Amino acid sequence: MAENTKKTSRITKRVSRKIQTKTYENLEVTCEFSEEVEWSDMKERQEKLDRITKLLIVDFDRTLHKVMNELQVHPVRASASKEA
């Protein structure tokens, strides 16, 4: 008789972005999410991983915009130089 046992995993995900704000100035924003999850099969584990990923992306987007607004910085657009 197979027992439906719950397994536990510590899941840590991190997203980071480095933005050039001036010629020799960069801003790096990093968000990390760590959570202990219980799961009984791989499908349930994957669903929980997907949920964590979605939460991390929403948090990162909000954090990035808030940091840029508070510091009043804007990314420098890359430009291509023309050759004569």
Q: What is the pLDDT of residues 8-18, one digit of tens each?
A: 999 999 999 99
Query: Mean pLDDT lowest for which of 10-19, 40-49, 71-80?
Result: 71-80
Of residues 38 and 79, more confidence is placed in: 38
State the pLDDT at residue 80.
60
User: Are 9 and 42 spatial neighbours (Cβ–Cβ below 8 Å)?
Assistant: no
Query: Mean pLDDT lowest for which of 20-24, 25-29, 52-56, 65-69?
Result: 20-24
3-state secondary structure of 4: coil
d(C-alpha 8, C-alpha 25), whole Å: 42
Query: DSSP letter at 57?
Result: H
First to last CA, the chain: 78
